[in-house]
Structure 1
Amino acid sequence: MGLFGAKHKRSDAQLHQLLDDAHAGSDQCVRVLLRRTDLYPVYISPNFRTMLGVDPQRYIDDVHVLLRHIPAEEQPNLRRAVKAWDRTGKLSQLCAYDMPGNQPVRKHFRITTTPTANGEHYLVEFIDVTEEQQAIEQACAERDRALQIVEGRSSFMSQMSHEIRTPLNGIKGIIELARDHSTEPELLLDDLQRADELSAYLLSLINDVLDMSRLNSGHVELEALPFDMRLVARELQSMFEKQAQDAQIDYRVEMDGCDDVLLVGDRMRLNQVIVNFISNALKFTDAGGSVIITIREMYRNERTVNYLIRVRDTGKGMDPRYISRIFLPFEQEDRTIARRYGGTGLGMAITDALVDLMGGTIVVDTEPGKGSDFTANIPFKLADAKQVEQLEQEGETLETRSDDSGTPTEYEFAGKRFLLAEDNDLNAMIAAAMLEDLDVAVDRADDGPVVVDMFEKSAIDTYDAILMDIQMPTFNGWEATRRIRALERHDAQTVPIIALSANNYVEDARESRKAGMNGHTGKPIEIAELKAQLAAATAESALSSRR
């Protein structure tokens, strides 16, 4: 029922009844009837207190009490609207309203004021549009995010177009120069060297762009396999110590307080993250400086342990204001970075996305001229007893891995015979020519079934290695590998099989391993990388045969 002022009991009962009837069934609207002469509330709808959080008697005593709950920043607009109102038509204003209480809840009301037909009253309606306003604000926020994404993608595509066109134009120009230098061997070799450097940069850029695309689209899934963190540290030490030594940089990998070292996670992606940090640190550190990697166990919680991995260098450092942009694609502190130090500008963006995927965080501390600290905090699960046993059986703990693996420092190509599986004639011609220049005899298969058949019909130990294309017409290189490994002849188990693929992703390398391959390298073939993988495969085969 309505509330009426005690001093004004002469209000028309029929009018009150009409207002109550109009209000019946409406729980989203508060109605107040104000006398025009003095704005005295002659009628207040029953849900006033519930909807506005104010005692009706307070409103009767002070009609401006509701104004105090309208945010200060919105009050000037409301006052201007009231001042401009001609008192004859309807006044409508959208206002935020902070409900009274210790923890105010913000609502949104559309307040409409309409003169009655007899001109003696104003009907004021507070219509709750909170849900509608929140939906509008959410839609606006989503629109702004969408526009930001579109703008970001447009900027990314524009930058990527520039980054790709630059080396392509360079390669095209160098080819023209090479034609002019066809009778000058020294200049021609210099042209070819520069074209090779540009093509290597272009391939690296494309790989990074595709990696970023896969991460952003959610197509990268982390593996959860047991590994020994101590072996990760040892591999990082051996991976970069020669490069650091040549650059006269003090390089060390240190483990600090690491009691729980048998972990479960994606070791290959973890390596990718740390390698990106180390590569940057070495790149920006001059001779006489240092790059120190610290791997430290921070804390454990039941079956989870958190690791800190810090790469600290004494290099050029950065302006701390740049830190907020360091993990954005193609962002570099100044335009001379790429020219002086190389790199695609995507490594840190990929690293940040991977650490985020792992559930970790990255903290950067840097100062110009004094170096930088890149610290990743990453959680891992602890390996259970069964997984520890598996690692020990595979020789993948520090205690069980044999140092006497027989790994050769060089792989001798001369006199070897390879089986090359490649369905593309041009790729096959290039690969065969490169190998034949190394005194390797090459037999080619142009499809999955063909390579399996050629190997099966060959004499035992005919082939020293199989180079296996992944994408082939009838069935792919992974299936061909599985079929070769299943053959009942001893060399089917020991012959090194190296994947050749234009998709040189971590996931592809992992799939190659699962299929029974010894390594995975990208196209075009890098002889140095192929040599390293064949050396490792030969050592792996020798070690397996002794177990």
Structure 2
Amino acid sequence: SNDLLRSKGDFAVRLMEDITASLSDQINLEEAFQIREKDFQCEGINRQFKIRFYPILEASGEAGYIVVVSDETEAQEQKRILSDSLNNALSASVAKSRFLSHVSHEIRTPMNAIIGMATIALAKINDKPKVEDCLLKISQSSRHLLGLINDILDMSKIEENKLTIAADEFKFSEAVTSVVNLIAPQASEKNIKFDVVFNDEIEETLIGDAMRLNQVLINILSNAVKFTPEGGEVKLIVNRLWIKQNTVYLQFIVKDNGIGMSPEFQKKVFDPFEQASVKISSIYGGTGLGLSITRNLVLLMGGSISVQSQEGLGSEFSVELPFGFTNEENTAPHGLGEFKVLVVDDDIGTCEHACLILKRLGQNTEFALDGYKAVEMVKESRDEEHPYDVVFIDWKMPGIDGEETARRIRKLEGLNLLIIIMSAYDWAPIEESAREAGVNSFVAKPFFANSLKAALMSVDKEVQTKTALAAPDMYDFTGKRVLLVEDNVFNQEVAQEFLSMAHVETDTAENGQIAVKKFFESPVGYYDAILMDIQMPVMNGYEATKKIRASSHPDAVSVPIIAMTANAFTEDVSLSLSAGMNAHLSKPLDMLCIYKLLEQTFKGKEKTSSNDKNFEKGAKSE
């Protein structure tokens, strides 16, 4: 005891004072007794000691005491750990018993439907509508049962540390769209407004586990729809938090105005087998595994998950996840014309996100937050003689909806602009009425650069088609002659027809050898240009071009030779130029592109000829 006390320094003094005070009390020391002190600090740690007093008795009376001091801190801590472990084991046992009861109920419910509907179908085998109805319900119940089994298997894998996370390239737009396609019908069934909002432009190609991302979002969104009453609202918000080296951190927020959760349940909402109450389980179903699996998946993916909720007011789940990206996004020119675009949506975040993407695609964009304002802006734009080319309109808006907004805009503008409906829902049920209102096409929400680009490309094609139809009247190349070198009869006919519509005289050759012969035999200045196919029998386009350029014909160097080929890659263009060609046209042939290129070619040739003549005139005067 002395060694112990000496090793504890000042603590020994306080302990001895306590022992002295104890001895001075009127205490019966006939038997050993103990004192527990919990407020002793020793080396910065609260420690517990057991102190025993043993009286030493002699014939003459008490002679003194033996004091035994033992440090019980570790023993008490071990006892506490064992006690906690026992309580946890008991709690787990109770939770698993409750879980088995829930699972038994959940499995039996769809199984009862499957067995019952199969029995009815067999009994009504000749009643086709009834059999179809039974098969539909069997299919629905089977999918529910499969989802339950998958949850149980996932939980088992997580507990055994056998669940793995992939690190593969995937299209983020496709991953989110697949989630929306699954959740939107569920929300629509309950008349719940479902929106997806992107506050930033997200990289198109990410590296991670797309399947597990989908599982996380579907679990949370399905719960949000499940626990939100009819007429409520569920929203998925995606933010880009930050980028560090080749990693982007995304935040997914799921908000609803459903039944919410109590503060007590929020503390255990991610624990396995937990549900708010037996009443909740009986009303809404489920096993209490979904959010536990979700939390484990998020942690395995290197992220975090949190929840804020208030009973009766709804819940907000926030998931933050890291993803890799390759820095190899497509930065090639988008090939779009510049359009004046109006975006109409009652959610300002959706409008700003769409405008951000459209501006990066080179478009002139504005937005309106309701249909009335949109109609007003279209009218003002027309009156100022700067009309819109295309209008994106959300289908579901307060005030006047997308259909009525489209109808009013179409009445103002006629066919002078394109109207595209935006919707997170399947537009098949509304397509007929939308078309009648003047809608040209549809685009799915949420927006991505590729989907908006595709929508604008359709606009561009319509503009190009209208221009192309008018092209024969816009271009007149009377007096120009072209040598058309093409081995395919149908392609030769198409090109020849295009040229004749712009009043171009055409000679044809079936291969490079015939083309070289015709050129060699032609007088000076006979051909204003040569359209040269590449892949041909006998002699290909490259060889024919080299022979023409190397010849002694007066036009060998100056005659424009244009590649006209299905070889459309950058290296093919380089090969054409290296062979001595002046330009490159890709098949399938675009009439407008041919006319524009011929116009530039003929103007360039006339300028060159004029310069040559001026040079010759100047030389003679000298």
Normalised by the size of structure 2, how large is the TM-score? 0.45
The CA distance in 2 between the partners of 1:141 and 1:335, in whole Å, is 26
Alignment of 1:142 onto 2:85: yes
The CA distance in 1 between the partners of 2:20 and 2:172, in whole Å, is 66
8 A Cα contact 1:204 1:344, kept in partner: no
1:314 Cα offset (Å): 3.6
The CA distance in 1 between the partners of 2:283 and 2:90, in whole Å, is 35
Q: In the alignment, what sits opposite 1:152?
A: 95
Q: In the alignment, what sits opposite 1:296?
A: 239
Cα 1:327–1:198 change in 2 (3 A) is same
Which of the residues 215, 218, 223 maps onto 1:280? 223
Q: In the alignment, what sits opposite 1:88?
A: 30
1:255 Cα offset (Å): 2.0
1:122 Cα offset (Å): 0.6
Which of the residues 310, 317, 320 maps onto 1:377? 320
Q: Which amino acid aligns with 1:99?
A: Q
1:107 Cα offset (Å): 2.0
Which of the residues 40, 48, 57 maps onto 1:108? 48
The CA distance in 2 between the partners of 1:165 and 1:287, in whole Å, is 27
Q: With CA pairs under 8 Å and 6+ residues apart, which has the higher RCO, 1 or 2? A: 1
Cα 1:123–1:269 change in 2 (3 A) is same
8 A Cα contact 1:260 1:382, kept in partner: no
The CA distance in 2 between the partners of 1:306 and 1:128, in whole Å, is 50
Cα 1:126–1:212 change in 2 (3 A) is same
Alignment of 1:225 onto 2:168: yes
Instruction: Classify the secondary structure of the residue corresponding to 2:297.
Output: helix
Instruction: Classify the secondary structure of the residue corresponding to 2:95.
Output: helix
8 A Cα contact 1:227 1:262, kept in partner: yes
Cα 1:368–1:158 change in 2 (3 A) is closer
Q: Write the mapping of 1:128-277 to structure 2, written as runs, cut at 5 A.
A: 128-173=71-116, 193-227=136-170, 229=172, 232-237=175-180, 240-241=183-184, 244=187, 249-257=192-200, 263-277=206-220
1:309 Cα offset (Å): 0.7
Cα 1:189–1:244 change in 2 (3 A) is closer
The CA distance in 1 between the partners of 2:122 and 2:450, in whole Å, is 57
Q: In the alignment, what sits opposite 2:5?
A: 48
Instruction: Classify the secondary structure of the residue corresponding to 1:120.
Output: strand
The CA distance in 2 between the partners of 1:369 and 1:55, in whole Å, is 58
1:377 Cα offset (Å): 2.4
Q: In the alignment, what sits opposite 1:360?
A: 303
8 A Cα contact 2:8 2:42, kept in partner: no
Q: Which amino acid aligns with 2:8?
A: M
Q: Write the mapping of 1:397-476 to structure 2, written as runs, cut at 5 A.
A: none
Q: Which amino acid aligns with 1:51?
A: K
The CA distance in 2 between the partners of 1:134 and 1:286, in whole Å, is 49
1:126 Cα offset (Å): 0.8
Which of the residues 36, 41, 50 maps onto 1:99? 41
1:94 Cα offset (Å): 5.7
The CA distance in 2 between the partners of 1:346 and 1:150, in whole Å, is 16
Instruction: Classify the secondary structure of the residue corresponding to 1:54.
Output: helix
Cα 1:171–1:65 change in 2 (3 A) is farther
1:59 Cα offset (Å): 6.8
Q: Write the mapping of 1:488-507 to structure 2, written as runs, cut at 5 A.
A: none
1:205 Cα offset (Å): 1.4
8 A Cα contact 1:252 1:293, kept in partner: yes
Instruction: Classify the secondary structure of the residue corresponding to 2:30.
Output: coil
Q: In the alignment, what sits opposite 2:252?
A: 309
Instruction: Classify the secondary structure of the residue corresponding to 1:218.
Output: coil
8 A Cα contact 1:310 1:376, kept in partner: yes
1:129 Cα offset (Å): 3.5
Q: In the alignment, what sits opposite 1:123?
A: 66
Instruction: Classify the secondary structure of the residue corresponding to 1:48.
Output: helix
Q: List runs of 5+ in structure 1 lacking aligned partners.
A: 1-29, 31-44, 68-77, 405-547
Deviations 1:1-54 (A, max 9, x none): xxxxxxxxxxxxxxxxxxxxxxxxxxxxx2xxxxxxxxxxxxxx2542433633
1:315 Cα offset (Å): 4.0
8 A Cα contact 1:312 1:371, kept in partner: yes
8 A Cα contact 2:204 2:329, kept in partner: no
Deviations 1:227-267 (A, max 9, x none): 56455445545554566567654433222245777654322
Q: In the alignment, what sits opposite 2:483?
A: none
1:310 Cα offset (Å): 0.5
8 A Cα contact 1:366 1:372, kept in partner: yes
Q: Which amino acid aligns with 1:113?
A: F
8 A Cα contact 1:233 1:254, kept in partner: no
How many equivalent residue pairs?
A: 337
The CA distance in 2 between the partners of 1:172 and 1:263, in whole Å, is 44
The CA distance in 1 between the partners of 2:103 and 2:246, in whole Å, is 43
8 A Cα contact 2:247 2:323, kept in partner: yes
Higher CA-based Rg: 2
8 A Cα contact 1:228 1:261, kept in partner: yes
Aligned-residue RMSD, C-alpha: 4.4
Q: List runs of 5+ in structure 2 lacking aligned partners.
A: 333-447, 455-622
Cα 1:271–1:403 change in 2 (3 A) is farther
Deviations 1:317-363 (A, max 9, x none): 45555433443445455656567656554322321221232343323
Aligned-residue sequence identity (percent) comes to 30
The CA distance in 1 between the partners of 2:187 and 2:203, in whole Å, is 29
Alignment of 1:351 onto 2:301: no
Instruction: Classify the secondary structure of the residue corresponding to 1:280.
Output: helix
